[in-house]
Amino acid sequence: MIFHPRIRHIAGKGPVFIGQGPILSTFLSLSRNIEGFQFPATASANTLESVAELGLAAMHHEDVRSLLPSMFQIKHELLTSSDRELLVERELMDRSHTDIAACRVFVCAEDGSASVLLNGDDHLWLHMTAPGPAFRELWDRMSALESALARHLRFAFHPRFGYLTGAPSLAGTGLRIKFLIHLPALGLSGRRKRILERLEDAGLAAEPYFPVDGKAAGNLFLISNRTTLGEREEDLGNRMTEIVMAISREEERTRAELISRQKMLFLNACGRAYGLLRNSYLIPTSEALDALSIMKLGADSGVFQRFTRRDWAELLLECQPAHLSCRMNMNLSPVERGKCRAARFRERLHGPEAAAETGAGPES
Amino acid sequence: MMLCQICKANPATIHIQEIVNGETNTLHICAECAQKRNLAEGNAANSHFHEMLERLTQAIANSADLKLAELFEQKKPQEEESRDIQCGVCGASWHAYRKNGKVGCAACYDQFGQLLLEDIGLNQHGSVHCGKTPPETVEQWQDPTVSERINLRRELERLRKGLDESVRREEFEQAAELRDKIAAIESELKSAELIPDESTPETPPKKPRVRGGRRKSS
C-alpha cells in the first residue's frame, strides 16, 4: 500500500486551483509556538512529545473542531513519501515539512481545505487554501481557528517581536499569504520579469510555482509576502490583494490585446496545445504544464467552449507525479509517468477509448 | 603538564586534532582561551568553530612558526564577527542564527534583542509588532485544566533536566527525590485525558476518531 486511505480519499476531492481568470488560488499559513517550550528544530524528544500532546488536546476541543470539519490526524512517520508528495501537490503540506521528524503530526480537515502540522518548523503550522483571490474569507477563518486554539494554548508572544517563531524572519504576525497566479500573456509580451521584480519594493516576492531549469513551467507563479513585522494582517492582506489584482488586470489587458492583434497566432497556439495533449503517448511534466497553460488561456478567452476551468484544474493536479501514482496505485518511473499522464490527457480530451489504445489507461 | 598554546599560562585541557592533506595538526589550548574564542564545546558554536579551525590548521601547515595568538587576532578583524552571545535558556548562539536563520526558543528573542531586531528589521515593514495579539487575561482561557496541564508539563521538563544533571554529578539522593517527583507528575498527567495518537487507516472518514473536551475525572 503506497497511499494512506485518508490521503487517497483527499486525492479524490475537487481541485484546488479553480479560480476564475489569472488568480487561481490563495493560500494562508500561520505559525505559532507554545509558550515555555523550545522550538522544534533543537527541542528534545520529550519537549516535542509534550507539544504534540498539548496541540492535539487543544484541537480536540469542540470550538476548534468545528473550524476543522471532520478533521483527522496521522503521525507524520506513518505517511509514505508518496502521501507527503501528494499533500504537497494539493497544497496541504509545505515542501520543507516532507522529511520525517520525531513527533510530527499531520492534522487535516476532511474536505482538504485546511491542515495543521504539529512540530514542523514551529510547534503549530496552520494552513488554509481557497480558490481565487480570497484573502478576506481565509483570514476570517484562519483568525477564528487561531483564536479558538489560543483559548486552550498560550502562544509565545513578545510585545515587540509579536508571535515568536523558529525563524525570526517570520516573527510578528507569523503569517504567510500566497497567491497562485497564471501569467502567460505577460510572459509572451516580455514584461512579466520586470513587473514581478518590482514586487520586491512592496516587500513581496514572486517565485515559479513549478520551477524547471529556473523557468516557470506553465507560467504559474506564487506571489508571497516577505514581511511579517510592523503591519496588521488585514492591512497586509488587503495591500497584497490590491497588488495581485492589478497584475491580474494587466495580464487580462495584455491577453485582450494579444488576441485582437494576433488572433491567428493565438488560435494556432491553442489548437496545437490541445492537439499535443490530446494525441501524445508520452509527455513529460514541463511540456504538459506549458500546454495546459495555453489551454487555460484559450479556455479563459472562450476558445474552448466545453473545457471548463474545473476540467483544467483537475488536469493540472492529475498530471503531477503523486496524483498519477495514486491513480495507478503504484510507484511509477518517470517514463511510466509520462505514459500515464498522456493516457489521462487522451482520456479526458478524447474519450475513454483513446486511453485504452496502449493499455496504459487508468485502473477501472 | 602541557601548557596552552595561546596564553602559554594555563594547562591545556582541550586538545584538537585535524588532518589536512594527510598531515595531522594538533592544537592544545586551555578552557579559558577556548571560551574566549568561542571555542567552547557545544553544538551551537560548532560550525563557527570548524570554520575557524580549518583556517587555523591550514595556516599552521603553511607556516609553522607563525604565532597562534597573532593568527587569531589577524583572522578576526571585525568585532561584530567575533562577538557571540549564547541563549542562557536553550544554548542557541548568535553565530548559529547568522548561519541558519533560526533561533532555539522564545528566550533567544530577549537574549539577542537589539542585534536581532537590527538584523530582521532591515527587511521588515516596521520594527514593532502590530496586528493580532493573544487574549490578555487568563480569565479568557476557557479551560483551566489545559493551562494546568501545561504548567505540569513545564515542571516535568524542568525536573527531567535536573535529574540528568544530578545523575551526572552523582548526587544520587537528590536524583532519587527528583525521580519520585517526576513519577508523581507523570501519573497525574496520565490520569487526566489521553489522546488516541493515531487514526486507524481502515476507519471510514465519516466520523473523526477523537475524544475531546473531556476534563479530568472529578
Tell me which residue of A129, A154, A175 sits closest to A58, measured CA to CA: A154
Alpha carbon distance B97, B46 (integer Å): 12
Q: Give, in degrees to the nearest 5, the angle at Cα A16 between A15 and A22.
A: 110
For chain B, report the end-to-end CA distance as a whole number of angstroms.
66
In one-letter notation, the amino acid at residue A223 is I
Alpha carbon distance A39, A143 (integer Å): 22
For chain A, state the CA radius of gyration.
Answer: 21
pLDDT digits (tens, 9 = 90+) for B72-107: 554 444 445 556 888 888 888 888 888 888 999 988
Query: Which residues lie closer than 8 Å to A200 by C-beta, 6 or more apart?
Result: none
Best mutation site among A119, A164, A176, A233 for testing chain B: the one with the most B CBs within 10 Å? A164
pLDDT score recorded for residue B210: 40
How large is the ipTM? 0.79
**Closest partner CB to A231 (pick from B130, B133, B195):** B130
pLDDT score recorded for residue B143: 53
Alpha carbon distance A297, A314 (integer Å): 16
Tell me which residue of A149, A156, A151, A150 sits closest to A171, measured CA to CA: A156
A21: three-class secondary structure by DSSP: coil
Confidence of residue B37 (pLDDT cuts 50, 70, 90): low
Contacts of A60 in chain B (CB under 8 A): 195, 210-213
A54–B102: do the CB atoms touch at under 8 Å?
no
CA distance B218 to chain A (A): 19
Counting residues of chain B whose pLDDT is more than 70, the rounded percentage is 53
Confidence of residue A210 (pLDDT cuts 50, 70, 90): very high
Minimal-distance CA residue of chain B relative to A229: B129
B126–A229: do the CB atoms touch at under 8 Å?
yes
CA distances from A290 to A107, A313, A314, B41 (A): 33, 14, 15, 53
In one-letter notation, the amino acid at residue A363 is E
Residue A223 phi, psi (nearest 5): -110, 125
pLDDT score recorded for residue B171: 87
Distance of CA B88 to the CA centre of its chain: 8
Confidence of residue A338 (pLDDT cuts 50, 70, 90): very high
DSSP state, residue A302: T
Alpha carbon distance B165, A96 (integer Å): 35
Alpha carbon distance A10, A4 (integer Å): 10
B197–A226: do the CB atoms touch at under 8 Å?
no
Contacts of B97 in chain A (CB under 8 A): 168
B120–A229: do the CB atoms touch at under 8 Å?
yes
**Closest partner CB to B125 (pick from A78, A153, A227):** A227
Mean pLDDT value across residues A92-102: 88
Contacts of A52 in chain B (CB under 8 A): 197
At B146, list the grid cell.
Answer: 489545559
pLDDT score recorded for residue A26: 94
Cell 503530526 sits on residue:
A105
Cell 503517448 sits on residue:
A281
pLDDT digits (tens, 9 = 90+) for B174-194: 899 999 988 888 887 776 554
CA distances from B168 to A224, B40, B41, B160, B178 (A): 49, 19, 17, 12, 14
**Closest partner CB to A54 (pick from B117, B141, B153):** B153
Cβ distance B39 to B49 under 8 Å? yes
Contacts of B104 in chain A (CB under 8 A): 38-39, 41-42
**Closest partner CB to B195 (pick from A36, A57, A229):** A57
Distance of CA A270 to the CA centre of its chain: 26
Confidence of residue B209 (pLDDT cuts 50, 70, 90): very low
pLDDT digits (tens, 9 = 90+) for A67-91: 888 889 999 888 988 899 999 999 9
How many residues does this entry show for chain B? 218
Instruction: Name the more confident of B151 and B142.
Output: B151
Q: Quick one: three-class SS letters along chain B?
A: CCECCCCCCCECCEEEEEEECCEEEEEEECHHHHHHCCCCCCHHHHHHHHHHHHHHHHHHHHCCCCCHHHHHHHHCCCHHHHCCCECCCCCCEHHHHHHHCCCCCHHHHHHCHHHHHHHHHCCCCCCCCCCCCCCCCHHHCCCHHHHHHHHHHHHHHHHHHHHHHHHHCCCHHHHHHHHHHHHHHHHHHHHCCCCCCCCCCCCCCCCCCCCCCCCCCC
A133: three-class secondary structure by DSSP: coil
Contacts of B210 in chain A (CB under 8 A): 60, 65, 71, 73
Alpha carbon distance A206, A183 (integer Å): 12
Query: How many beta-carbon pairs below 8 A join chains A and B?
Result: 193
pLDDT score recorded for residue A18: 82
Contacts of A229 in chain B (CB under 8 A): 120-121, 124-129
Best mutation site among B114, B115, B119, B124 for testing chain A: the one with the most A CBs within 10 Å? B124
pLDDT digits (tens, 9 = 90+) for B97-143: 888 889 999 889 888 888 888 888 777 888 888 888 887 644 444 45
Instruction: Name the more confident of B51 and A4.
Output: A4
At A67, list the grid cell.
Answer: 473550524
pLDDT digits (tens, 9 = 90+) for A144-195: 999 999 988 999 998 888 999 999 999 999 999 999 999 999 998 999 999 9
Contacts of B90 in chain A (CB under 8 A): 38, 42
B164, pLDDT greater than 50: yes
Best mutation site among A46, A59, A67, A73 for testing chain B: the one with the most B CBs within 10 Å? A73
| Run of H or E including A180 | strand A175-182
Mean pLDDT value across residues A41-70: 90
pLDDT score recorded for residue B57: 56
pLDDT score recorded for residue B51: 65
A176: three-class secondary structure by DSSP: strand
Contacts of B105 in chain A (CB under 8 A): 37-39
Alpha carbon distance A209, A223 (integer Å): 9
A221: three-class secondary structure by DSSP: strand
